[in-house]
Chain A
């Protein structure tokens, strides 16, 4: 008997119209020994890559297709779904283009029935496709349903239309049997029509899920899609659970009366020659001037760049030293046909340079000397001895990924729009980001479908913990019990089952933060494109992983807040300091930078400002650039989990001797004192000790990486051991090397990436130490970013001697600016102060802020009434907010005698915002001062925090110092002088709370007072005892023991008390 092949199945990538992942469908097909299967998702190929790869791994042939929504009044009044199977590559390209056409025509969230194709569009894209007549929502069913008495003439008309469109040989009369009377009645007519028209019959099951159990999820999805509850969904829900993937024998029984419908599935499957293996994707081409090839053009650009960068001066290698490496890289690039890709990235970088946008390559691209020469990356891989194979290797069969860091915000958008413009709307697109049901979203939506009330829904959603660290005692049963929910209750139990079932199922398609795929006007033939929610953006239907798996090359244009800070700083330095800073040529060993790093005085500096970094810096004591590279890489899960941090620090401090597992490893691990810290070292270890080639070593890293496969790991491990043995490494040494490679590969950090980040870290530190005003203004203008709140950044800048000026409508711009204080010009730096920008007034719109700036540039404001009249954009509330934070104090005059206080301003604003009526309009109040009393200090701090989230006056804790002294609390600045192990009491405002996943339930707090910050360590036990105070209260008094190890000072908490200070405070930055 012929085997049955399912040729009409939807996956969960039909977004709420299917409830199984493609992998699950393939696993079920495998269990049924189905040799092939087709996936037809709704209007897209969203799930096709995962379906294809899973099928390939399991030796199943994956056919691809899609259900296309069609609407054409000439065919039918309503929209119907047409199942199309891809027969040839041309068919695939046609279907891609057809989907792109329908998707790009309407906005992302268009209504049902708007995203459709017409009969003419189908006719233009029919080649290479096989058409099925569809299930209950197909064209035949629609024709038959429209006239229940006798729809066959209309159905015949539909068949005639489909035959003309696709040709007699490419049309199959589809039969589905889900034990439904109406469906069977239709089937009888379809069989008759098929016989009359000599069309082959085809049995399918119109699959929507892999197993019967998944029908429940499909019903829940129906509810979510239709915004109804299960109880009220009625006949919107499925009639039964028959749309699961059925094995051949069952389908043969169901279609026992029509055996040809079964045998035709195998026949049709054999006709479908296309798979995603045959995608027809070509690397993008770059237009080069006449007489040039892409390769020759790339060679020239590389050589030009290399000659500029490899000068032999400033520690850079000579050009001749670099030539061999460049040649090797260029040869490989040519062999792999990647020259166009490199030129495209080079072109983007050139555009950024022209437009004055800071750009720097990150990640493994920094291993390439070609990238360095082309100006894509800023780290010299030759000088740093980085491994090219980590970036590109022939053996790997996978394409490089160049990530570019750009200033976040408008500048990055400019670069993205340039790419769209350069390569056309159909030539470039962002990669997608599949948003899946997880945690709270899953709990909330499933709960809603089950008709839980709002209170229960909140409790259920609240069960999903957001702490990074999970208590092992935190079982689901316990969580439910604590939330007052009984898992024995059938509805709660059902909720829990469904909640687990919907986990990881796709919810909708978003866009990836920066990944772009480029294919020169041809991208819509490779993958369907669709509009993103953001105007002007187009996304492909595949995510980053899918693109990589199918060999699509991409470039990541990532937004990095610190890049924007650096860019803004340079401009501010240019304007205020009248100096030109070139980030590429910063003085390499600025003593101020290293002094600050060694003291862990790093608030605001890129990558080295976190609490963990701060606690490591005084031990590592960076002295040169490479130390910063190590510093950036060492506080990562890899080195922490792999227990590499302490051995490295001990060796660095000379407390432990440097030793190598094998003498062969010395050249590799010398720089990191015998401790492997970087991925490149791991690859080199395998290359040197086990004789692996560069590509093989990279393969080893991937085998042990995130997508681990037991079989693959075993295979590689055997190869590794064999290689080690060949080099005479056996026994304990071999074990040690294998162990360090296998445990480290999962989390390791590439040295090239660390070096790229270290460059930015150094630049940020350099600017902070030497141009504090400019750096502070830039970082405040780019908030939110980094680890600390603006308040902490400001207090830190003040402690470093920077004068911060308040928000003042007569001189503040929208952004923070630098002001020169009047006085002699001898030391320009010390006379600079920072003026807070209007953007820090909470609730003031940018439009209003810019309007103030615009009007003020024409003529200064002299009164609140005038401000109100000249800036009509300002709302009543905005004026109140400006008054409350003191921004209007100097509107009449800067002289202290003539200035008004905040309450005066508030008094005037209230009058200004009320129309007095025509009769009294001309009357003016003589006394500009109000009967109101000026704000007291606590009131001012409160108004500052409420209105701006920060205060530039004394630290809130400073007002309570006398009280704290009585309590015996030490100041942050003084605790470093206290002996290790002494009991200590500290108090302050909590600015950061952390509970990292790697810290076994320990909680880390950063307390700030007027003198600086102190670090507190809270054990899980103390945390549980004082949970409320630790989580909710802004001011804490902590008793504990002082720990001072290598100048890393922290307090191990023993008791915690909340302090009831009557001053406001900004919220802390919590990382749960």
Chain B
């Protein structure tokens, strides 16, 4: 015999609740579990006694092992009949063997749980539509159609569905395996404020985590650390890795570096480390391919560098597709993959014509950051420039200039930009002294703020 428990108000807790009655539990669908009650007579007297006990216990508050809610429970000789009965009939129902159709007869045909006989939604939809056209509105009407006629018209799927409607299916329950947990937590008696004691706890939790991952042949590329602080707030850190790893020592070092850079504001009284399990990375290195740094070592090096120079200042610069001058972002540094290498080896499509000596382009040295400048303009044209930075200063009279070169954009955003660039040749010396060109510079003016800058000089 099988029992199905259905409650529209409860979902997750239903499984645990069901385990209290039978070791064989199937999580049939949302809000629905089915259990095998064979052999439970010793504990509950009869299947009906079990059903009554389930209904009574479900009403109890959660603290007392109940669900705090009413449930429908149906007992039948096969799981599918029990499921349909529980879904359709309130309270406790008992379907005696051989009486399945009597119970199911009036159920509306739309409530047929086609997935129970492994029929896809699309296919079931077509069959149900045909049944609707036939005027078949209930399980009973469907069950009474001649099976040959159904088979000729609706195929084997139709026959399976008809058996389902007649309560004539039989199957084993798909019992539920508890999902592995990739998370470890610890609560501390005293708050920790130092990194060293924290590192021991990190090590312990990571060890356990890696052992769990290893037992499932998995690795991770994302670690989430949640520290519960003295003031009862949470301090969260997420560590994303470019490749899946499974080395608790590396994880520990990375976490320690990260905690050093982002220490919790107060003492830590609880700690949870969880991870996203993924398939481990499998690489077959070529015999003649130079070895790239090991990913774990690379990650550690990058983390150490980030600690030194700041997180935003490390990575690979990547130009943005925009007219905005010098617009780029820092992307995380990743080792080139084989595909990248292949792509790079391919000869470029455009024929590059080497420049001749006369036409060789002028080199440009960019000042990073650009020098803030004071520019005297005559009728909108720069005439005198003075700019000083920490390491260099640029000043002089504009002897020659070209420009402006104007770029404006991102007008639909709040951070729109507009700037005029000029190439200027500056000369030093006053009117009395003989003047001399001291260099060619690129200056620009941010049109929205009116501020002037020296961006760099030409070789």
Contact = CB atoms under 8 A, between A and B. Distances in A.
Listed residue (A215, A242, A491, A932) with the most chain B CB atoms within 10 angstroms of its CB: A932
Contacts of B418: 240
A939 B152 contact: no
A933 B414 contact: no
Nearest to B411: A216
A880 B133 contact: yes
Contacts of B130: 880, 906, 910
Interface stretch (A136-144, A230-238, A669-677, A1061-1069): A230-238
Contacts of B155: 914
B322 interface: yes
A910 B154 contact: yes
B356 A240 contact: no
B407 A932 contact: no
Interface in B316-331: 320-323
Contact of B153 (A147, A234, A494, A914): A914
A180 interface: yes
A156 interface: no
A237 B418 CA distance: 14
A184 B404 CA distance: 11
A219 B404 contact: no
A242 B406 contact: yes
Q: How large is the interface on A (under 10, 10 to 19, 20 to 34, 35 or more residues)?
A: 35 or more
B121 interface: no
A933 B130 CA distance: 14
A149 B353 contact: yes
A939 B144 CA distance: 21
A96 B355 CA distance: 44
A234 B149 contact: no
Nearest to B354: A149
Given A216-B411, A216-B412, A911-B152, A903 B356 contact: no
Interface residues of B, number: 36
Contacts of A237: 323, 409
B323 A884 contact: no
Given A235-B323, A931-B145, A910 B153 contact: yes
Interface in B5-60: none
A181 interface: yes
Contacts, number: 87
Contacts of B136: 932
Contacts of A106: none
B154 A179 contact: no
B146 interface: yes
Contacts of A625: none
Contact of A494 (B133, B409, B412): B412
Contact of A907 (B153, B355, B420): B153
B135 interface: yes
A147 B414 CA distance: 39
Contact of B407 (A148, A215, A239, A884): A239
Nearest to A883: B133
A179 B135 contact: no
Interface in A407-465: 450
B435 interface: no
Contact of A235 (B135, B321, B354, B408): B321
A240 B324 CA distance: 10
Contacts of A181: 405
A490 B409 CA distance: 16
Nearest to A939: B135
B134 interface: yes
A158 interface: no
B412 A240 contact: no
B231 interface: no
Interface string B124-164: 00000010011110000000111001001111000000000
A240 B321 CA distance: 15
B355 A180 contact: no
Given A149-B356, A235-B323, A916 B152 contact: yes
Given A235-B321, A907-B149, A149 B359 contact: yes
A241 B152 contact: no
Interface in A146-174: 147-150
Given A149-B359, A910-B130, A911-B152, A903 B135 contact: yes
A180 B359 CA distance: 20
Interface in B402-431: 402-409, 411-414, 418, 420
Contacts of A931: 144-146, 149
Contacts of B323: 235, 237, 239-240
A450 B134 contact: no
A710 B146 CA distance: 83
Contacts of B144: 931
Interface string A901-943: 0010011001100101000000000000011110100010000
A933 B135 contact: yes
A216 B323 CA distance: 15
Given A235-B322, A935-B135, A180 B153 contact: no
B133 A906 contact: yes
A790 to B, nearest CB: 23
B412 A230 contact: yes
B412 A903 contact: no
Contacts of B413: 490
Contacts of A910: 130, 152-154
Contacts of B154: 910
Interface in B347-403: 353-356, 359, 402-403
Contacts of B409: 237, 239-240
Interface string A857-881: 0000000000000000000000010
Nearest to B419: A240
Contact of A179 (B153, B354, B404, B414): B404
A189 to B, nearest CB: 12
B411 A219 contact: yes
A932 B133 CA distance: 10
Interface string A254-293: 0000000000000000000000000000000000000000
A903 B266 CA distance: 77
A466 B207 CA distance: 66
A180 B405 contact: yes
Interface string B292-321: 000000000000000000000000000011
A916 B355 CA distance: 76
Contacts of B414: 490
A914 B405 contact: no
B272 to A, nearest CB: 34
Contacts of B404: 179
Given A179-B405, A910-B154, A147 B133 contact: no
Interface in B225-263: none
Contact of A932 (B135, B406, B412, B420): B135
Nearest to B141: A933
A308 B400 CA distance: 91
21 contacts: A149-B353, A149-B356, A149-B359, A178-B406, A179-B405, A216-B411, A216-B412, A234-B322, A235-B323, A239-B407, A240-B323, A240-B408, A450-B412, A880-B133, A903-B133, A903-B135, A906-B133, A907-B149, A914-B153, A914-B155, A932-B135
Interface of A: 147-150, 178-181, 184, 215-216, 219, 230, 234-235, 237, 239-242, 450, 490-491, 494, 880, 883-884, 903, 906-907, 910-911, 914, 916, 930-933, 935, 939
Given A150-B359, A179-B403, A240-B409, 17 more contacts: A147-B353, A149-B355, A149-B356, A181-B405, A230-B412, A239-B323, A240-B323, A241-B408, A490-B414, A491-B412, A883-B133, A903-B133, A906-B130, A907-B134, A931-B144, A932-B134, A939-B135
The 7 closest A-B pairs by CB, nearest first: A234-B321, A910-B153, A179-B406, A240-B406, A239-B323, A240-B408, A932-B134
